[in-house]
Structures are given as C-alpha cells and as structure tokens.
Amino acid sequence: MNLFLKFFTLVFFLFFSSQLSAQNSVSETTDKSLEKPLVERYILDELKDLRVETIKLKADVEKRLSRAEIEQTDRAARYITDTIGNVFYLIAAATSILIFAGWNSLRDIRSKTEKIVEERIDTITKKYNTQLEALQNTLSQQSKKILDNQNKIYNTQYIHSLWMRSNLETNPQSRIDIYDEILKINDNDAEVYAYKADAVLDMDEYEWALSLSNKAIEIDPQYGYAYWQRACANAVLGNKHQAIEDLQTAVENSPQLKDEINNEKLFENIKESEEFKKVVALFN
C-alpha cells in the first residue's frame, strides 16, 4: 500500500511536472508571440511620428521661404516704386525749370536744343578749321623751307662745279659764259662780277670791265679784287688818278694783292707816275 502510494505519488508528481513544464512552455511561447506585435507597433508609431514631424518641418520651411520671398518682393516693389517716384520727381522738376525758363512747349525745347547744338557744332567747326589752317600754313612753310634748302644745296653744288670749270678754262669767252650761268642762279655775287670783269679785260673790253667792277663794288664795297679790276680798267682808259685810288683801296682790303702790282701789265700807263710809286712804297 505504501509502495502504491509512493508510486502514485511519483506518477502524479511527474504528470504535474510535465503539465507545469508544458504550461511554462506555452506561456513563454505566448509571451514571445505577444512581444513581437508590440515591438512592431512601437516601430510603426515612431515612424509615423517621424513622418508627421518631417511634414511639419517641410511645411514650416515652405512657410518661411514663402514669407522671405514675399518680403523680398515687397522690398523690390518698394525700391522700384521709390525709383519711379524719384524719376517722376526729377522729370517734374526739370519740366518746372524748363517752363520757368520760358520753354513752354516741346517745340520750343526742340528748337532751342537744335539751336544750342548748331551753335556748339559751329564753334567747334570754326575752332578746328582755324587749327587746321594753322597746321596747313605751318606744313606749307616747313615744306617751302625744305624745298628752299634743297635748292640752295643743289645750287651751291652746281655753282661750285661751275667755278671749277672756269678755273680750267683758258678762253675768256668760255669763262664769261660760265660766269653768266652762275649769275642766273645768284645775280648778287660780287665775286662773279669781278672775275667776269677780269675775263672781259682779257678781251680788251675795258668799258664793260669798268661797268662790271662798279656792279661788284656796289654789291660789296669791301671786296678788294673788284677795286683791282676797276683800277686796271681805269688805267687803260686813262683815268690815272681814279686808277691809283682804286689800287690803294684794293690793296688795303686785300693785302695779298700787293705782290701782283709790279706784274700787272695793265698798269703800264701809270707805273711812272709819282702817285703810283707812293702807293707801291706805302705797301712795301
């Protein structure tokens, strides 16, 4: 009996233990199955709250942007309005001034403006025309000077070549032709007249030589060789006193001529006179 009780007690204990274990297992399974929906619900609620907050934030940002754009638009509109107003004020002020000055209509404004422009253009045109004329005159003068200098250089070179030719010529007439060529370029050269007189004396044309000598002395009263040629012409023509005076003047202005006195054949008519000897003695 006691053994049966013990056995029954053991079986009951085992059965109860198995039932208890089964209940515990079912309870744990139930708890786990209940815990999962709760977590999912929590996550969904958080996502929902996050979405709601995002929507609110987006709406707030859009509202702020709209407000900023409206303020910017209002500011631009006020600026444009103020600018246009200032322009109209300026136009009104200018119109008032024009009306006050007597410009009562657009026609008056146009006519007076055209008049002012024409006067200004006329003034500028006259100014530049004056400057242009002055520039043209300056250029013309400079060009003339350049041409004159070129001609002088050419004439100087040409005259020099003619003088060299005359020094090589032995025929008096050929020398006279060369001197005439020089006189065509410069007819105010005392030296040319004096040397032409010398060539004329070689042709025994004493009156002509006297005239040429006078012309040379007229151009240059200090040119001694011109007095020498006139002294020669006067000596041959019998004008002894005038010849001796010209001889003295010639040597005074050109001292190198004193060495030629005794060698000059045209002085034969006056060499024996006392006046001639005094002049010769004066320079020896």
Token readout for 207 is: 């009156």
Give the mean pLDDT of the chain: 77
pLDDT score recorded for residue 4? 47
pLDDT score recorded for residue 133? 83
Q: CA 187, CA 163: separation in Å to the nearest integer?
A: 15
14-18, 87-91, 131-135, 164-168: which has the minimum mean pLDDT?
Answer: 14-18
Sign of CA dihedral 123, 128, 133, 137: positive
> Which of 206 and 125 is assigned the larger pLDDT?
206
Section 69-76 average pLDDT: 66
Q: Are 228 and 250 in contact (CB under 8 A)?
A: yes
Count Cβ neighbours within 10 Å for each residue of 175-208 and write b for 16 or more, e otherwise: bbebbeebeebeeebbbbbbbbbbbbbeeebbeb
Most confident of 1-15, 102-116, 217-231: 217-231
pLDDT category of residue 55 using cuts at 50, 70 and 90: confident
Q: Are 148 and 118 in contact (CB under 8 A)?
A: no
**For domain 186-283, is the CATH number 1.20.272.10?**
no
Within a 13 Å sphere around the CA of 70, how many CA atoms are in the beta-carbon half? 6
Token readout for 143 is: 């060009």
- For residue 228, count CB atoms less than 10 angstroms from its CB and return exposed for 0-12, middle for 13-18, buried for 19 or more: buried
Residues 6 or more apart whose Cβ sits within 8 Å of residue 119? none
Section 143-154 average pLDDT: 83
- Give me the residue label for tokens 């996050």: 50
pLDDT score recorded for residue 3? 45
Most confident of 41-45, 47-51, 83-87, 207-211: 207-211
pLDDT score recorded for residue 197? 93
The number of helix segments (H) and strand segments (E) in the chain equals 8, 0
What is the tens place of the pLDDT at every residue in 230-252? 999 999 998 999 999 999 999 99
pLDDT score recorded for residue 234? 92
